[in-house]
Amino acid sequence: MTMHTIIHIGAGLGTKLSDYLATGAQHIVLVEPLPKLVQQLRLKASQIDTEKATAEIHILEAAITSELEQKQLIEFNLTHISSLRPETGLRQLYPDLKVNAYHSVSLITPNDLIQNYAPHEGQQALLIVDAPGETALIVQALINSDQLKLFGQLSISVPIEPLYQNNSPAQQLLTQLEKYGYESCAEDYSDPNWPVLTLIYSPLKVRLQAKLQKKHRQLGEQQNKISQLEAENEQLKKLNAATNKRQEQLEEELNKAEKQFQLFHDMLLSGDFLSNSPSDISKQLFNFDQSSKIYKG
């Protein structure tokens, strides 16, 4: 596959430069903070046969980080694991690890690097990140700015477990990349503690994930509506039960009123009503009046 742009953060001695040229890339950006390695990179680039290789090669002597207050690069006796960050677990893997020197280096944010050298959307591009202690943070910054999708291929060198200050397990980064739309296509475990992972950006996967998220939202909204309807149904059941109970009470009172009315009617026809005392008549009229109100209610 012909590449348009290749950006290698942590290019080291430039051992992969010939491979990059073989892809036919038009732009190759090699980023390296260690001064002695930058000299080797420039020497290697100057020896390229420009008649056979037409790529434009940029060599940046800088460290890539989102935290610009970090001003010194820690050079270990194992040069390839030098970092801007203090180590927290390296000595368990490399008992003979020593600090050789501290270097004041230029710092560039991931976003600024990509804005200056990234390809246009649709052009084939490869991003290699081999920045001990910074790899995951660089990738996360590009995810947050939505610039990472400009690279159809991504190669990252990241330790399985955190080995530097403020780092996280590799699996956490892989989870973020999968959510963003990258799929793993190759794994190199030559160093089992520090694998190199190659991933491919899949726009189709991103679209499918977006559709799936939309379906989940719709399903959640429907579930909320169902829950609301169920709650309303329960309220209606309670209201219906209360209504039925009230209706039974009214029917019982109505039956009593009808019986009292019939009794009064019978008394009038029999003449017993007129033979009662005034106080009894008043009580009977009162009871009849109350029965009438119940019936009307």
Higher-scoring residue by pLDDT: 276, 130: 130
Write the CATH number for 122.
3.40.50.150
Q: Is the pLDDT of residue 297 over 60?
A: no
Mark whether 64 and 91 lie in a shared domain. yes
Q: How do residues 230-286 score in pLDDT, each as one tens digit?
A: 888 888 888 888 888 888 888 888 788 777 777 777 767 776 555 556 666 566 656
- Segment 96-105 mean pLDDT: 95
Amino acid 51: pLDDT: 60
171 and 291, same domain (yes or no): no
Q: Which of 76-80, 120-124, 222-226 has the highest mean pLDDT?
A: 76-80
Count of domains for the chain: 2
Residues 163 and 252 in one domain: no
pLDDT at position 82: 96
Average pLDDT rounded to a whole number, residues 198-224: 74
| pLDDT over 60 (residue 183) | yes
pLDDT band at 107 (very low <50, low <70, confident <90, very high): very high
Select the more confidently predicted residue: 271 or 291: 271
Average pLDDT on 211-229 reads 75
Query: What is the span of the domain harbouring residue 278?
Result: 209-296
My answer on whether 99 and 225 are in the same domain is: no
What band does 150 get if pLDDT is binned at 50, 70 and 90? very high
Q: What confidence score (pLDDT) does residue 50 get?
A: 64
Region 123-139: what's the mean pLDDT?
95
Q: Are residues 44 and 70 in the same domain?
A: yes
pTM for the predicted model, two decimal places: 0.70
Are 193 and 245 in the same domain? no
Mean pLDDT of the chain: 85
- The predicted structure's pLDDT at residue 247: 85
pLDDT of residue 208: 63
Residue 49 has pLDDT above 90, yes or no: no
Residues 173 and 37 in one domain: yes
- Mean pLDDT of all residues in 213-242: 79
Q: Are residues 253 and 179 in the same domain?
A: no
Residue 159 and residue 140 share a domain: yes
- Cα torsion 217, 220, 222, 227 to 10°: value is -160
Region of poorest pLDDT, from 3-12, 209-218, 283-292? 283-292
Provide the pLDDT for residue 295.
47
What is the per-residue pLDDT for 230?
82
